[in-house]
């Protein structure tokens, strides 16, 4: 169960980052995890960052047994926002609450440092991390917790390689819907 606060009108971007930080950290920790009734899957360890944050360097720290990937989530422009009324749950059952649905896009950049010593391992790690991220985002069983916090209908694209001189870089673009309460009147 995620402990980050659900999304509200006042913290759409920061709450989304907090929810994803917690959710991604549950999987990309270098351990094996069950994913929606399937056999347990080994996940790579990844450094998670958001917005304009630089990826932690070096990605393969001295003394680390295996190289690390970096997952950077960048907020895309909202496609559209629509507001609607919904009856509130709980003791104020008769009270209407204004809700918003916002169609959004995010880019998840997965990268590994390209060095002579890393060789094909960096390419393999970057691809595996991007493929596992895309699979998690498209799996209703793994995204159920995101839905409870206001992130619904994640639709990731296939991981795409991107040319870069210093890194093995993969892009996982994702569309989703944010549903949150609008405070006010």
In order along its 185 residues, the chain shows pLDDT tens digits of: 899 999 988 898 899 999 999 999 999 999 999 887 777 899 999 999 987 655 554 444 444 555 678 999 998 766 677 766 565 555 555 555 678 888 999 999 998 876 655 567 888 899 999 999 999 999 999 999 999 999 999 999 999 998 877 778 899 999 999 998 887 55
List, as own/partner pairs, every contact residues 38-41 make where C-beta atoms lie below 8 angstroms and the sequence separation is at least 24, other chains included: 41/132
- pLDDT of 57 reads 47
Q: What is the pLDDT of residue 166?
A: 73
Look at residue 58 in the predicted model and tell me its pLDDT.
44
Between the two ends of the chain, the Cα-to-Cα distance in Å is: 32
Q: What per-residue confidence (pLDDT) applies to 76? A: 76
Dist CA 93 CA 183 (whole Å): 17
In the chain, what are the domains?
Answer: 9-88+96-181 (3.30.2000)
As a whole number of angstroms, the distance between CA 116 and CA 129 comes to 20
pLDDT at 59: 47
Residue 9: the pLDDT is 86
pLDDT tens digits, 120-154: 788 889 999 999 999 999 999 999 999 999 999 99
pLDDT for the residue numbered 53? 55
Cα separation, 127 vs 161, whole angstroms? 8
């Amino acid at each position: 169960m995620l402990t980050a606060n659900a999304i509200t009108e006042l913290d759409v971007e920061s709450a989304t980052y907090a929810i994803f930080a917690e959710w991604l950290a549950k999987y990309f920790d270098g351990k094996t995890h069950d994913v929606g009734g399937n056999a347990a899957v080994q996940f790579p360890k990844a450094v998670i960052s958001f917005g304009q944050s630089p990826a932690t360097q070096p990605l393969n720290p001295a003394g680390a047994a295996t190289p690390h990937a970096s997952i950077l989530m960048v907020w895309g422009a909202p496609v559209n926002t629509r507001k609607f009324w919904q009856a509130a749950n709980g003791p104020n059952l008769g009270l209407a609450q204004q809700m918003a649905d916002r169609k959004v896009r995010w880019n998840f950049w997965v990268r590994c440092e390209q060095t002579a010593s890393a060789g094909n391992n960096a390419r393999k790690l970057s691809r595996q991390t991007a493929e596992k991220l895309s699979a998690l985002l498209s799996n209703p069983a793994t995204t159920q917790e995101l839905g409870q916090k206001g992130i619904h209908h994640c639709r990731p694209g296939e991981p795409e390689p991107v040319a870069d001189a210093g890194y093995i870089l993969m892009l996982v673009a994702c569309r989703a819907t944010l549903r949150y309460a609008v405070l006010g009147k």
